[in-house]
Structure 1
Amino acid sequence: MSQETVLAAPIESIGSPLLWAVTIALLLGLLAVDFAITRRPHDVPMREAVGWTVFYMALPVVFGLILWPLYGGTVSVEFFTGWVVEKSLSVDNLFVFMLLLTAFAVPRELAQRVLLYGIVGALVLRAVFIAAGAAVISSGTWAFLLFGAVLLATAIKVLREAGGDGEKTVDIDEMRSVRLMRKLMPVTNRYHGAVLTVREAGRRTLTPMALVVVAVFMTDIVFAVDSVPAVYGVTSDPYIVFATNVFALLGLRALYFVLRNALGKLRHLDYGLGIILAFIGVKLVLHWAHDVWTWLPMVPTPLSLVVIIVVLTTVTLTSLAANRRDEARNTKDPENSDQVPTAS
């Protein structure tokens, strides 16, 4: 296929207007349910969190199986692969959210509302980035080279920062978004439930809740830059890209409370994410290069799915093994028993 043909070819998508409408209606309905659940602030018990997590994990499985007879195995495998990529990246989102909630001293009963705001912000930003990505891809295969370079640069950054000494922390006073908000409006020194602003001394004042929501939105932008090119490395169908993001993000609120104690134990997660981003980056570069030099191989989607699952399984097992070694060492040396393994 010539370069001119590629530039002229529109992006093929299974997303008919009806399918888009049904998907968006389902998304809005699920978000409405989440807002109704979080309207009454409460600390989420494990039983409730596990129930919603199972529900949100089952949804994409059912959706992917429905795609198979309707649109073929290739589309279904692309969806499952993209969903696994987005879900693995979303776990890193959760770790950052956990740091922000700790740094802002968010009351436990308000955590789920903060997470929900973060998920809504992420969905909006992903939709914008997906539309922009589709426009870039339709302009030519050079877009795959661009996306590949972004992912490779991100992978290098993630791998360099992985496994650092000491626990990761967030200095909220150094966050530009927080400093800007404090310059624009005064901020109360305590939370007032889930509201973002209150009136004090006759003037409108921000609550700490507003600051943490803005901070979460800013991190959403960073994750969108990494996430959308990654899933475009699996499929060029904007609808599938959108669906994978929706199903990966919707269950984050409940998953956070399930993994709240386990997140810090996945000490090698950043290594795995760095490897996955690098792998998809190479895949995108090869996709571009194959159009120029046809003898170069392209990475099939089923192979991508296998590689991603193997990497995630490996880093989980190595993290658990490292934690067991530390526990055994602390048992023999009680003086070091208060040292917490580095979270990644």
Structure 2
Amino acid sequence: MPYPSAVPAAAPESIGSFWLWAVSVLVLLALLVADFVVTRRPHEVSMREAAGWSVFYLALPFVFGGWLWFAYGGGQALDFVTGFVVEKSLSVDNLFVFMLLLTAFAVPAAVQQRVLLYGIVGALVLRAVFIAAGAALLQAGTWAFLVFGLVLFLSAVKILREAIAGEQAVRDVAQLRSVRLLRRLMPVTDDYRGARLTVHEHGRRALTPLALVVVAIFATDVVFAVDSVPAVYGITADPYLVFATNAFALLGLRALYFVLHSALAKLVHLNHGLAIILAFIGVKLVLHWAHGVWPAVPEIPTPLSLVVIALVLATVTVTSLRRRSRDTAVKR
């Protein structure tokens, strides 16, 4: 049977018209500007403030999903919600790495939310680049689904091996190439200077430690973009919905970080679950590719994907809490 080279039949025409893209980008920029205004004055974030913003950003995607259901039907809405759940799950792991970086750099509590916001903006830009590249690959043929599936398999194996070995995603910040390069190019101050990234000192421009942590976060954003974009393409081939799920998943991370700060350390099995989810979506992508070549090969429907992902997340949450409870009892 000839190898397919056209746009896959399962990839419907994108719902993203020019005006929908334009309005969506403008709303995204407005929300980012609002976040920068909120973080303009460095201050320690209270739980009340963080919870309020988290509820707002968690409600937005479901309101958007309701609009999708009304405007385009249940299929598009279900794809979006499933993709959002996947991206939000991966973003929680992203938050864990942010926590490690903020701790490693001893970032003052008053400027932590500004660092997180820089990280979110960087992640959005990188996701946009990867989404465009993924869309171009899908236009080239259904073999792109096979590539995405293999990428997710490799990511799942790597995450699972690190989880089993108990390794951290960031071992030594000082050894990051981006950080070492910056230290060679410019002097770095010994202390933080509020939310400033650079200062003029001793007659020359110098970086602050805040600039180093921002660069370190940008470097880790690349790794997460490699995992997350193929993962959501396993749910929907519509570039607009892929963009929307990533945007909604990332927007509320700044506030969610402060809500989940203490809870993140308790989710000791989170990476095990994320590895299973990535491997499952990898299987879904490979089956989708195989279905285009051999129609008798079954595909995994989106509703089943949502159920599996929800069950995996619920399971690792319960097992993590039991593990923490058992460890606490042993220490006593």
Give me the TM-score of the superposition, normalised by structure 1.
0.93
How far apart are the structure 2 equivalents of 1:46 and 1:53? 10
User: Is 1:256 the counterpart of 2:219 in the alignment?
Assistant: no
* Matched position secondary structure for 2:303: helix
Letter in 1 for 2:112: A
Q: Which one-letter code corresponds to 2:191 in the other structure?
A: R
Could you tell me how far 1:165 is from its partner in structure 2?
Answer: 4.2
Match of 1:105 in 2: 106
Q: Which residue of 1 aligns with 2:269?
A: 268
1:110 is aligned with what amino acid? Answer: V
Q: Which residue of 1 aligns with 2:34?
A: 33
Kept in 2: contact 1:172–1:178 (CA 8 A)? yes
Cα distance in structure 1, aligned partners of 2:209 and 2:311: 41
C-alpha separation in 1, matches of 2:327 and 2:174:
33
The 8 Å contact of residues 149 and 286 in structure 2, kept in 1 or not, is answered as yes
Q: Distance in 1 between matches of 2:147 and 2:167?
A: 34
In structure 2, relative to structure 1, the CA distance for the partners of 1:8 and 1:256 (3 Å cut) is closer
1:167 offset after TM fit, Å? Answer: 6.7
Amino acid at match of 1:53: S
Given the superposition, is the C-alpha separation of residues 316 and 2 from structure 1 closer, same or farther in structure 2, using an over 3 Å criterion?
A: same
Q: Which residue in 1 is equivalent to 2:142? A: 141
Judging changes above 3 Å, is the alpha-carbon distance between structure 1 residues 121 and 330 closer, same or farther for their aligned structure 2 residues?
Answer: same
CA distance, structure 2, for counterparts of residue 211 and residue 328 of structure 1: 40
What is residue 319 of structure 1 aligned with on the other side? Answer: 320
**SS of the counterpart of 1:204?**
strand
Determine if contact 2:118/2:214 at 8 Å carries over to the other structure: yes
- The structural deviation recorded for 1:330 is 1.7
* Corresponding position of 1:54: 55
Instruction: Name the SS of the counterpart of 2:321 in structure 1.
Output: helix
Q: Who is 1:73 aligned against?
A: 74
CA deviation after TM superposition for structure 1 residue 283, in Å: 0.5
1:163 Cα deviation from its structure 2 partner: 3.6
Distance 2:316 2:132 in 1: 33
Give the alignment of 1:159-170 within 5 angstroms: 159-165=160-166, 170=171
RMSD: 1.6
Q: Structure 1, residues 270-298: CA drift from partner, whole Å, max 9, x if none?
A: 00000000000010001111111211110
Where does residue 328 of structure 1 map in the other structure?
Answer: 329
- TM-aligned CA deviation for residue 315 of structure 1: 0.1
Q: What SS class does the counterpart of residue 198 from structure 1 fall into?
A: strand
Q: Secondary structure at the match of 1:319?
A: helix
Identity of aligned residues (%): 68
Q: Distance in 1 between matches of 2:180 and 2:295?
A: 52
CA deviation after TM superposition for structure 1 residue 6, in Å:
3.0
Q: Specify the alignment match of 2:211 in structure 1.
A: 210
Deviation at 1:17, TM superposition (A): 0.8
**Once the 2 structures are TM-superposed, how far is the Cα of residue 19 of structure 1 from its aligned partner?**
0.7
- Secondary structure of 1:266's partner? coil
Quick one: distance in 2 between partners of 1:104 and 1:237? 39
Contact 2:5 2:140 in 1 (8 A): no
2:188 is the counterpart of 1:187: yes
Unpaired runs of 5+ in structure 2?
none
Please list the CA deviations of residues 129-163 of structure 1 after superposition, one character each: whole Å capped at 9, or x if unmatched.
10110000011000000000000000001111114
The residue that corresponds to 1:232 in the other structure is 233
Q: Secondary structure at the match of 2:205?
A: strand
Provide Cα deviations, 1:287-312, integer angstroms capped at 9, x if missing partner: 11111121111000110000000000
1:90-101 matches, cutoff 5 A:
90-101=91-102
**Residues 103 and 170 in structure 1, CA contact (< 8 A), matched pair in contact too:** no
Q: Alpha-carbon deviation of 1:170? A: 3.3
In structure 1, what is the Cα distance between the partners aligned to 2:252 and 2:14?
Answer: 25
Kept after mapping to 2: 8 A contact 1:178/1:214: yes
Q: CA-to-partner distance for each residue in 1:31-52, whole Å, 9 max, x for gaps?
A: 0000000000011000000000
For residue 6 of structure 1, what is the aligned residue in structure 2? Answer: 6
The corresponding residue for 2:220 is 219
- The C-alpha deviation readout for 1:111-131, integer Å capped at 9, x for no partner, is 000000000000001001101
Q: Is the 8 A contact 2:188 2:208 kept in 1?
A: yes
Give the match for residue 341 of structure 1.
none
Question: Matched residue of 1:317: which SS?
Answer: helix
Which piece of structure 1 moves more, 162-171 or 275-284?
Answer: 162-171
Q: Which 5+ residue runs of structure 1 have no aligned equivalent?
A: 332-344
Distance verdict in 2 for CA 1:175–1:5, change over 3 Å = closer
How far residue 5 of structure 1 moved from its aligned partner, in angstroms, is: 7.0
2:162–2:168 CA contact under 8 A, matched in 1: no
2: CA distance, partners of 1:253 / 1:192: 21
Counterparts of 2:297 and 2:212, CA distance in 1? 49
